[in-house]
Structure 1
Amino acid sequence: MHPRPLLCVLLMLLPLFAQASGFTRLAELAGKGFLIGAEARLLSSGETLGTIEPERQLSPASVSKIYVAAAALERWGPQYRFTTRLVSLAEPDADGALHGDLVLDGGGDPMLTSEDLWRLTQRLHQAGVRRVEGRLMVSQWRYGPVECITTDRCQAHSRVANAYSALLSSAGVNHGSWCVSVAPAAVAGEPARITNCDSQVPIVGIDNRVETKPDDSGTRLNAERVLRDSGDVMVVSGQISTNARPRSIYRASSDPARQSAATLKAMLEQAGIGVRDGIGVAASQPPAEARTLAYVESEPLQELLLRTLNHSNNFMADQLALNLVELPQAGLVQAGGALEAFVAGIPEHGPVTLRSGSGLTPENRTSAAGITALLESMYRRPALFPSFVASLQSPANGVMRFLRRGSATFQQHVMLKTGTLNQPVAVRSVGGYFRTRSGQWGVFAALVNGTSNTPWLNWQQVLDPLAADLEAMIDAH
Structure 2
Amino acid sequence: MPSGFVYHRRSLPPLRFLAAIVIVTGLAGVAGRADAEGFPATAELAERGFEVSAYAELLDSGESLGSLTPRQMLSPASVSKLYTAAAALERWGPQHRFTTELVSRGAIVDGVLQGDLILDGGGDPGMTSRDYWLLVQGLANRGIRRIDGRVLASQWRFGPVECVTTDRCNARSRSRHAFDAQLSSTAVDFANWCVEVSPGSGAGAPAQIAGCAGPRPLTPVVNNVTTVSSGGTAISAERTTAGGEDRLVLSGRIEAGSWPRSVYRSSADPARQSLATLQSLMEDAGIAVTGGFAATATPPPGGARVLSAVDGEPLQEQLTRMLNYSNNFMADVLALDLAGEGATMAGAAAALDAFAGSIPDHGPVNLLSGSGLTPDSRTSAAGVVALLDHMYHQTALFPVFVAGMQAPVNGPMTFIRRGSERFQRSVMIKTGTLNEPVPVRAVGGYFRTASGRWGAFSVMFNGRRPGPPWLNWTDTLTAVASDIDTMIANH
TM-score norm. by structure 1 comes to 0.95
Alignment match, 2:38: 22
Asked if the contact 1:19/1:49 (under 8 Å) is kept, the reply is no
Pick aligned residue for 1:162 from 177, 200, 216: 177
Q: Does residue 229 of the first structure (1) align with residue 248 of the second (2)?
A: no
Displacement after TM superposition at 1:123 (Å): 1.0
Alignment match, 1:462: 476
Displacement after TM superposition at 1:213 (Å): 1.2
Displacement after TM superposition at 1:333 (Å): 1.2
Alignment match, 1:417: 430
Alignment match, 1:392: 405
| Aligned counterparts of 1:190 and 1:272: Cα–Cα separation in 2 | 34
Pick aligned residue for 1:127 from 109, 131, 142: 142
AA matched with 2:351: A
Asked if the contact 1:169/1:257 (under 8 Å) is kept, the reply is yes
Q: Does residue 428 of the first structure (1) align with residue 441 of the second (2)?
A: yes
Alignment match, 2:18: none
Alignment match, 1:176: 191
Deviations 1:449-475 (A, max 9, x none): 001164111101101011011111100
Asked if the contact 2:210/2:216 (under 8 Å) is kept, the reply is no
Pick aligned residue for 1:198 from 188, 205, 213: 213
Displacement after TM superposition at 1:13 (Å): 11
Matches within 5 A, 1:40-189: 40-93=56-109, 95-189=110-204
Alignment match, 1:4: none
Displacement after TM superposition at 1:199 (Å): 2.8
Deviations 1:367-425 (A, max 9, x none): 01100000000000101111111111111111110011211111011011000000000
Asked if the contact 1:19/1:48 (under 8 Å) is kept, the reply is no
AA matched with 1:383: A
AA matched with 1:169: S
Asked if the contact 1:18/1:50 (under 8 Å) is kept, the reply is no
Q: Does residue 330 of the first structure (1) align with residue 346 of the second (2)?
A: no
> Once the two structures are aligned, what percentage of the paired residues are identical?
55
Alignment match, 2:368: 355
AA matched with 1:82: F
Q: Which runs of 5+ in 2 are unaligned?
A: 7-30
Question: Helix, strand or coil: the match of 2:57?
Answer: strand
CA 1:230–1:46 in 2, change beyond 3 Å: closer, same or farther? Answer: closer
Alignment match, 2:313: 299
AA matched with 2:105: L
Question: Helix, strand or coil: the match of 2:47?
Answer: helix
Alignment match, 2:16: none
Asked if the contact 2:35/2:69 (under 8 Å) is kept, the reply is no
| Aligned counterparts of 1:14 and 1:413: Cα–Cα separation in 2 | 25
Displacement after TM superposition at 1:14 (Å): 6.9
Alignment match, 1:288: 302
Deviations 1:300-335 (A, max 9, x none): 000010000000000000000000013x22211110
| Aligned counterparts of 2:441 and 2:323: Cα–Cα separation in 1 | 16
Matches within 5 A, 1:211-290: 211-214=226-229, 216-229=230-243, 231-290=245-304
| Aligned counterparts of 2:292 and 2:218: Cα–Cα separation in 1 | 13
Deviations 1:28-49 (A, max 9, x none): 0111110000001101122111
| Aligned counterparts of 2:34 and 2:50: Cα–Cα separation in 1 | 21
Displacement after TM superposition at 1:264 (Å): 0.7
Asked if the contact 1:65/1:357 (under 8 Å) is kept, the reply is yes
TM-score norm. by structure 2 comes to 0.92
Asked if the contact 1:40/1:51 (under 8 Å) is kept, the reply is yes
Alignment match, 1:313: 327
AA matched with 1:138: A
| Aligned counterparts of 1:110 and 1:44: Cα–Cα separation in 2 | 35
Q: Which runs of 5+ in 1 are unaligned?
A: 1-9
Asked if the contact 2:221/2:249 (under 8 Å) is kept, the reply is yes
Task: Single out whichever of 17-26 and 162-171 deviates more from structure 2.
Answer: 17-26
Question: Helix, strand or coil: the match of 2:238?
Answer: strand
Displacement after TM superposition at 1:202 (Å): 4.5
| Aligned counterparts of 1:340 and 1:405: Cα–Cα separation in 2 | 32
CA 1:394–1:11 in 2, change beyond 3 Å: closer, same or farther? Answer: closer
Displacement after TM superposition at 1:91 (Å): 2.5
Q: How many residue pairs get matched?
A: 465
| Aligned counterparts of 2:131 and 2:162: Cα–Cα separation in 1 | 26
| Aligned counterparts of 2:255 and 2:3: Cα–Cα separation in 1 | 68
